[in-house]
């Protein structure tokens, strides 16, 4: 296999929330600038609040989006590393009102990265781009919301940037991130 290692790449939930804004904020700003330049600033102001005009739609979209976000993590890790569902757990850190999914068995860093970034790409970046492409304020707003929601995931990708893709990582059960359990070589 490789040599054993126990380097942590974790952050607490509070620190992750601040890091999430820093990690995802630039994406959101770029999307806003693109929308504004393409359709004009008045259109941005009007279209971008479309999701807020219907509170039931907003809350329903948010809840379904959160479930989908955590589900994409789980499906990705399960599929990419052939992890049985019995080894994947869902929960909520109630003190931070933060849902999570935890994989209790080690997976490759490459697959951990993919499983970490996919929710932000599928629920955040893609809807933002589609919202811009079709001048759809609802998609744009949903994408912005879930780009921000994926900020902690983007932060983890940044923290893991120097980790070998074949290293085995263990998802941390109580913090955001993982621990390197085996380096290749």
pLDDT digits (tens, 9 = 90+) for 5-50: 678 999 887 787 788 889 999 999 999 999 999 999 888 888 777 7
Instruction: Name the residue ranges covered by the structural domains of the chain.
Output: 2-184
Residue 2 pLDDT level (bands cut at 50, 70, 90): very low
For residue 155, give every residue at least 6 positions away whose Cβ sits within 8 Å of its Cβ, in sequence order, or none: 11, 16, 19, 20, 22, 23, 176
Say if residue 160's pLDDT is above 90: yes
Say if residue 70's pLDDT is above 60: yes
pLDDT digits (tens, 9 = 90+) for 76-87: 999 999 999 999
Q: Would the pTM count as exceeding 0.95?
A: no
């Amino acid at each position: 296999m490789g040599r054993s290692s126990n380097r942590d790449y974790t952050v607490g939930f509070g620190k992750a929330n601040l890091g999430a804004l820093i990690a995802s904020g630039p994406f959101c700003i770029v999307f806003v600038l693109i929308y504004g330049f393409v359709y004009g600033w008045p259109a941005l102001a009007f279209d971008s609040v479309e999701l807020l005009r219907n509170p039931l739609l907003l809350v329903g979209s948010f809840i379904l989006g959160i479930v989908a976000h955590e589900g994409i993590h789980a499906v990705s890790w399960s599929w990419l590393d052939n992890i049985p569902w019995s080894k994947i757990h869902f929960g909520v850190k109630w003190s931070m009102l933060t849902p999570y999914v935890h994989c209790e068995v080690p997976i490759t860093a490459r697959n951990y990265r993919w499983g970490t970034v996919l929710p932000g790409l599928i629920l955040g970046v893609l809807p933002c781009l589609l919202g811009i492409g079709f001048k759809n304020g609802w998609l744009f707003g949903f994408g912005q919301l879930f780009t921000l929601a994926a900020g902690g995931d983007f932060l983890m990708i940044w923290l893991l940037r120097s980790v070998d893709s074949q290293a085995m990582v263990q998802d941390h059960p109580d913090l955001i991130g993982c621990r390197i359990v085996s380096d290749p070589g």
